[in-house]
A = this chain, B = another copy of it.
Amino acid sequence: MPRTEWANQAIREQRQAQIRSVAARLFAHNGYVGTRIEDIAQAVSMSKGLLYHYFGSKAELYTTLVDRASRGTVQLFEDAMNRPGTAAERLRWLVTQIVEGLAEQPDMFMVVMQALVSDAVPSEAHDQAIRFAHRVQDLIRAFIREGQQTDEIIAGNREQLALLLGFCIQGLAVAHAIGGAVPPITEALIGLFTGRHGSSAT
Tell yes or no: A166 within 8 A of B by CB.
Answer: yes
A9-17, A60-68, A80-88, A157-165: which lies at the interface: A157-165
Tell yes or no: A117 within 8 A of B by CB.
Answer: yes
Alpha-carbon separation in the docked complex, A32 to B2 (Å): 29
B34 near A188: Cβ-Cβ < 8 Å = no
Copies in the complex: 4
Tell yes or no: A198 within 8 A of B by CB.
Answer: yes
Chain B neighbourhood of A175, CB < 8 A: 163, 167
Chain B neighbourhood of A164, CB < 8 A: 168, 171, 185, 188-189, 192
* Contacts known (A163-B185, A168-B171, A178-B116); A157 close to B192, Cβ less than 8 A: no
Distance in Å: Cβ of A33 to nearest Cβ of chain B: 4
A200 near B148: Cβ-Cβ < 8 Å = yes
A31 near B33: Cβ-Cβ < 8 Å = yes
A202 near B157: Cβ-Cβ < 8 Å = yes
Tell yes or no: A56 within 8 A of B by CB.
Answer: no
Tell yes or no: A191 within 8 A of B by CB.
Answer: yes
B117 near A177: Cβ-Cβ < 8 Å = yes
A183 near B171: Cβ-Cβ < 8 Å = no
Distance in Å: Cβ of A143 to nearest Cβ of chain B: 14
Chain B neighbourhood of A199, CB < 8 A: 155-156
Chain B neighbourhood of A161, CB < 8 A: 188, 192
Interchain residue pairs with CB less than 8 A apart (27):
A31-B32, A31-B114, A32-B34, A33-B33, A34-B119, A35-B120, A110-B117, A117-B178, A156-B188, A156-B192, A157-B200, A158-B202, A159-B202, A160-B183, A160-B184, A161-B188, A161-B192, A163-B171, A164-B185, A164-B189, A166-B171, A167-B167, A167-B168, A167-B175, A170-B171, A192-B193, A195-B195
